[in-house]
Amino acid sequence: MSEAQGFHQQDYQRPELVCPAGTPAALRAAVDAGADAVYCGLQNETNARNFPGLNFTVPEVEQSIAYAHARNAKLLLAVNTFPPAGKFAMWRDAIDGAAKLGVDAAIVADMGVADYAARNYPELRLHLSVQAGASSPEAIRFYCEQFGVKRVVLPRMLTVAEIAELHRQIPCEIEAFIFGNIGMMAEGRCSLSSYVTGASTNMDGVCSPAADVHYEEDAARNLTTRLGEYVIDCFSGGESAGYPTICKGRYLCGVQSDPYYAFEEPVSLNLSALLPDLMRAGVTALKIEGRQRSRAYVKSVVGAFRKAVDDIMAGREAAFASLLALTEGRRETEGAFPSKRWR
């Protein structure tokens, strides 16, 4: 963004680029592509991307911390799901491990987990996950005061203007999503998947478990996506597809004659054009979604945003490589960030 357009280098501090990793190879790709911090999860229900074959063992976290720290990058551990009654031990073990291994921060959502971490490991830096759904100054201040939370990851439902206002009212850093999957606008409170599969992101770390997803493609290349016993979308031959989640499904409803996206459309968030605005609004960290994606995705997206942030900080116009090929449904949106009327 040029100075002629009203943005000046001194208007903002250099933001931290927070990048996803589902495997150690992806973590190394993120660090090598210029991530300031990489977030990852353990191979269990304690994180919101509990997918088969994904995530880190404890030794892998340890090795990855060494790799990241040797290159001046941080490792953040997502412990950001909600323990069901009687299963708290798994979350406690995750926090114990995070503290013992020396992660740079634990990303938590549940108040019990936050409380356990704050009481037992006061030196462990806590970030409040987007899954906590804290979007008001009152809610965020509560987490800061009670558990010493140092950063809040904001739900993707606030405008940039609201983020700027929030920044003036809270005592912690702000992390905002800038790219990737965008789902229901009540993050941490969506249980749609539970009604069909019995599992949800909140408590099981997985929305639409792969075991419940079935794809059928006919000779004309029409693709039917089923979740459990329900058809949640049909894509005609050549039509771009999306993730098999209920919130992105197309349904026959009484108000429309054809199936339509009743909740959300398959589309990815891309705030490339809003980066200077976010930085001026007081956002400390820019977050890229996609721990479930490949190292090819990580390398491309992190590299693109690394260059853009560096360009902005240097007072240059940020030239963006197109990331459209990596977006869900091959479509991108700025969501609620410019205004609440994004559909």
Partner 1 sequence: MLAPPPAGRPASPLKKLLENAPSVLLAPVPLALLQPMFTRIATHVAQARPELFNRLGPHAGKRFLIDPTDLPFVLVLTPLPDRPLLTAHRRHERPAHVAAIAGTFFNLLDMIDGSLDGDALFFSRDLQVSGDTEAVVALRNALDDFEGSALDSVVASFGPLSGPAGLALSVVRSVRGR
Q: Site residues (CB under 8 A) for partner 1?
A: 22-26, 28, 51-54, 57, 209-211, 213-217, 221, 223, 235, 237-243, 266, 292-297, 300, 323, 325-330
Nearer to partner 1, 99 or 223 (CB): 223
Give the residue from 111, 62, 72 showing the smallest Cα distance to 88: 111
In whole angstroms, how close is the CB of 124 to partner 1 at the nearest point? 27
Min CB(324)–partner 1 separation in Å = 9
Pick between residue 1 and residue 326 the one whose CB is nearest to partner 1. 326
Residue in 47, 54, 50 with CA at minimum distance from that of residue 82: 47
Rounded alpha-carbon distances, angstroms, from residue 260 to 22, 116, 247, 328: 32, 44, 11, 17
Compare residues 141 and 331 and give the one whose CB is closer to partner 1.
331
Which strand ranges, in their side-by-side order, compose the sheet holding 213-217?
213-217, 223-227, 230-235
Q: What does DSSP assign to residue 13?
A: P
The C-alpha atoms of residue 182 and residue 28 are separated, in whole angstroms, by 25
Nearer to partner 1, 64 or 284 (CB): 64
User: Least distance (Å) from partner 1 to the CB of residue 192?
Assistant: 18
Closer to partner 1 by Cβ: residue 99 or 213: 213
Phi, psi of 213 (to 5 degrees): -100, 130
Give the nearer residue to partner 1 in terms of CB position, either 135 or 200. 200
Minimum CB distance to partner 1, residue 129 (Å):
22
3-state SS of the chain: helix, strand, coil percent to 5? 35, 20, 45
Minimum Å gap between C-beta 89 and partner 1 is 21
Residue 212 CB, shortest distance to partner 1, in Å, is: 8
